[in-house]
Structure 1
């Protein structure tokens, strides 16, 4: 067996794999559409920066705080559209049974939208 028949494809694969794979760091501020397309390619690695995690946690906390303050939040404490006057959960949305009611409501809404 000719060694070049084996070595050339392996070296080619390694060069292609190393050239296309990259680590993308999400920080919540700098993601472009072009980078989003790159991230979706096979072999790409995505990490979230510490600042990115802080932003994710803050974005979760904002509607929770608003609900705790008694404000109506679509999909969290009240229904959508014509049913917006129907409560889904009380103001303490992180406490049971409100948390489970809100999760079930949103799962049902996602299934409706997918259908």
Structure 2
């Protein structure tokens, strides 16, 4: 059985079932659209040099460090 990942209906119990039985999962079209929209929003904010913790800044003790475009790409990997 394939479990649809729609960003709304996955429960902890269902997640455990998937992990233990190695069921197939499918990201729904609606979820992909939300992922694409989120990525677009992040890219726009990065291009606008907006400060976003853990995206355009370091994390933890480095949260005051602003990352430049090249380190942002490396940091996000």
Instruction: Name the TM-score class by shorter chain.
Output: 0.7 to 0.9
Equivalent pairs counted in the alignment come to 77
2:14 and 2:21 mapped to 1: Cα distance?
13
| Counterpart selection for 1:83 from 48, 62, 68 | 62
Structure 1 alignment gaps of length 5 or more: 1-21, 90-97, 108-115
Structure 2 alignment gaps of length 5 or more: none
1:52 and 1:69 mapped to 2: Cα distance?
26
- Determine if the alignment matches structure 1 residue 102 to structure 2 residue 72: yes
Aligned to 1:66: 45
Greater relative contact order: 1 or 2 (C-alpha under 8 angstroms, separation 6 or more)?
2
1:36 and 1:43 mapped to 2: Cα distance?
10
| Counterpart selection for 1:36 from 15, 28, 34 | 15
Runs of 4+ in 1 over 6 A off after TM superposition: none
CA radius of gyration, larger in: 1
- The alignment's C-alpha RMSD in Å is 2.1
Contact 1:75 1:88 in 2 (8 A): no
Contact 1:75 1:102 in 2 (8 A): no
Give the Å deviation of 1:78.
1.6
